[in-house]
Amino acid sequence: MGMRTSNLPEWLTATDRLRLYSPEEVIEMGLLPYTIGTLKDAAYRKRIPYIKVAGKIRFRLDHIWQIQQAGEYNPVLGRRAR
């Protein structure tokens, strides 16, 4: 998946955009509706965007946004929004 940060709010600083979140932080903060295990498994299987740092899975805000958007459904179109 390509990096699509243009849809993130413009007021986010570079630090906000580049901060790395652990799977535990993502779930604890309620940013994605998964379990830690499900999130890690999806990353290991390369089903979702992530970054690996020192062998550990991490997520930037644009990764989290892309994962949220991938699950969006538009009832008007009768299909998933893209």
Q: How far apart are CA 33 and CA 73, in angstroms?
A: 15
Q: Provide the whole-model pTM.
A: 0.77
Rounded to whole angstroms, the Cα distance separating 13 from 82 reads 26
List the one residue out of 20, 25, 67 whose CA is nearest residue 43: 67
Q: What percent of the chain has pLDDT over 70?
A: 87
Cα separation, 19 vs 68, in Å, equals: 18
pLDDT single digits (tens) 23-48: 999 999 999 999 999 999 999 999 99
